[in-house]
Structure 1
């Protein structure tokens, strides 16, 4: 018998779900693995990026961090100057799933840790970022996952009960935060498994989920 969907909306993370986000891979190609390992062990680059995701101005944050760490100035500015190359490529199968869901009338929301300026860069490169029914971007909200507040803000605004949301994210801490709020969740480890979940939920057919 056909599955009756219990999901009323699908919530997508963006980084490593719809767009690959692997800064370490970028730096390995640019400065070599040894230099990259030393840099990431010495500097809290991801902490700098978390500040941007909370709303810090991207250029100001990068230049201040580079000035504070002059031995790594060139490498830090690569994070700013080559950000679009780090946030690439699109995960094409995931994009097809997003579009298939929307073609079936399933509301699709974005809940992503993204800076204001970096999201503007991504929007210019990836048309599908304009295709969500609603977008909840941390830089605009001033709070990042897995803080409970960002999930509460989505719940209050989207009009869908927490138990009717299906959320996919590649980070287990973000998934656990959603679990605590009663959301349905899927830890993203590739689009094929997520496609299987959407089929199992009755949201897409196997033919639609390829």
Structure 2
């Protein structure tokens, strides 16, 4: 297997927990949340934000289009930072350990322009990547092959020398099909083990 020259992190559910259903369950209860998500395609609406649509305008247009759920949909905008929480501290330590060893670390994430601006001051590690590929600025989201091709063209690292972790198997499969080395993220401990197995970190630095 080729030597890894750069490590590529997804952000949601890799470095920051992203569980909107869990958050809404805590606010309006599971029964109402299920009813709302069945009627309002909030994840699809969020995909539009991740493609670069204006966060405020997109969410409030959805709120007006679903008057029965107007207040609840508005929560997606007004309390978004509470949904994007908490940080996955072990993953953040791994990011920093890689950089401390001089290994380039990139972000490849489905994230809106305005939502990333909201998150940056709350999560300082978002500014610590060597390169950041933010879907909202690129106008395309994973798992579209275009976003991977644009990363390859920009970073100058051969696909087979990139190691990519993401919690979504569809995103991982497209990267693997392009020749990237991949790891399906199912928790920081297993990810740490992969980094150790690949010789990128020691057991001590991967704690």
TM-score scaled to structure 1, two decimals?
0.97
Partner of 1:158: 155
Q: Of 70, 75, 78, which aligns to 1:73?
A: 70
Deviating above 3 A after TM superposition, structure 1's stretches of 4 or more consecutive aligned residues are none
SS in 1 for 2:171: helix
In structure 1, how many angstroms separate the alpha carbons of the residues matched to 2:130 and 2:66? Answer: 41
| Structure 1 residues 135-180: Cα deviation after superposition (integer angstroms, max 9, x where no partner) | 0000000000000000001000001000000000000000001011
1:61 lines up with 2:58 in the alignment: yes
User: For the aligned residues, what is the CA RMSD?
Assistant: 0.9
Cα offset for 1:51? 0.1
Helix, strand or coil: the match of 2:93? helix
For 2:73 and 2:4, the matched residues in 1 are separated by 42
Task: Using the TM superposition, give the Cα deviation of residue 42 of structure 1 relative to its aligned residue in structure 2, in angstroms.
Answer: 1.2
Number of residue pairs matched by the alignment: 207
CA distance in 1, matches of 2:2, 2:96: 18
User: Deviation of residue 79 (structure 1)?
Assistant: 0.1
Given that 1:162 and 1:181 are in contact with CA atoms closer than 8 Å, whether structure 2 keeps it comes out as: yes
Matched ranges for 1:94-173 at <5 A: 94-173=91-170
Q: Distance in 1 between matches of 2:158 and 2:31?
A: 48
- 1:26 aligned counterpart, secondary structure: helix
Contact 1:5 1:203 in 2 (8 A): no
Aligned residue number for residue 19 of structure 2 = 22
1:40 corresponds to 2:37: yes
TM superposition shift of 1:5: 7.4
- Segments of structure 2 that go 5 or more residues without pairing to the other structure are none
Instruction: Answer whether contact 2:51 2:141 (CA < 8 A) is retained.
Output: yes
Normalised by the length of structure 2, the TM-score is: 0.99
**Alignment-derived partner of residue 89 in structure 1:** 86
- Alpha-carbon distance, 1:124 to partner: 1.2
**Partner-residue secondary structure (3-state), 2:7:** strand
Unaligned runs of 5+ in 1: none
Aligned counterparts of 1:176 and 1:40: Cα–Cα separation in 2 = 27
